[in-house]
Amino acid sequence: MGKFVVKETATGVKFDLKASNGEVIATSEVYASETACMNGVESVRTNCAAAVEDQTVENFEAVKHPKYEVYTDKSGEFRFRLKARNGEIIAVSEGYKAKASCLNGIESVKKNAPDAAVEKI
């Protein structure tokens, strides 16, 4: 089972969603407070079943929020970001060399986030 790892940074509080194997699936922004960060965790749980908008294909079909946006970064790697119903980005992925791996990351968020425990370090 996955878990949300909440930790303090130099500028605030953030979370990583980790799969059962310990790999980081998605990361949050840095929040000003732990309360705001925990709200972000709940938002990921609430919105993780969202549809996928693949922005790497021409004439892609726009999907309503909440959604996962799949895109390529400046170095040509595939990434996803999970956006809440209000359009705010609530979690982002690492870069993947293959689109299939990126899509597997999204499936992992969908599988792990709803029941993930929260660990504060």
Cβ atoms of residues 114 and 4 within 8 Å = no
> 17-29 pLDDT, tens per residue?
999 999 999 999 9
Which percentage of the chain shows pLDDT scores above 70? Answer: 100
Distance, CA of 76 to chain centre: 19
Which domains does the chain carry? 3-116 (2.30.29.80)
- The 3-state DSSP class for residue 105 equals helix
Is the confidence at residue 1, as pLDDT, over 90?
no
Q: How far is CA 49 from CA 59, 77, 97, 118, 119, in A?
A: 24, 24, 24, 19, 22
Cβ atoms of residues 60 and 53 within 8 Å = yes
What is the rounded distance in angstroms from the CA atom of residue 53 to the CA atom of residue 64?
Answer: 9
* Mean pLDDT over each residue of the chain, to the nearest integer: 97
Beta bridge partners of 108: none
Cβ atoms of residues 112 and 91 within 8 Å = no
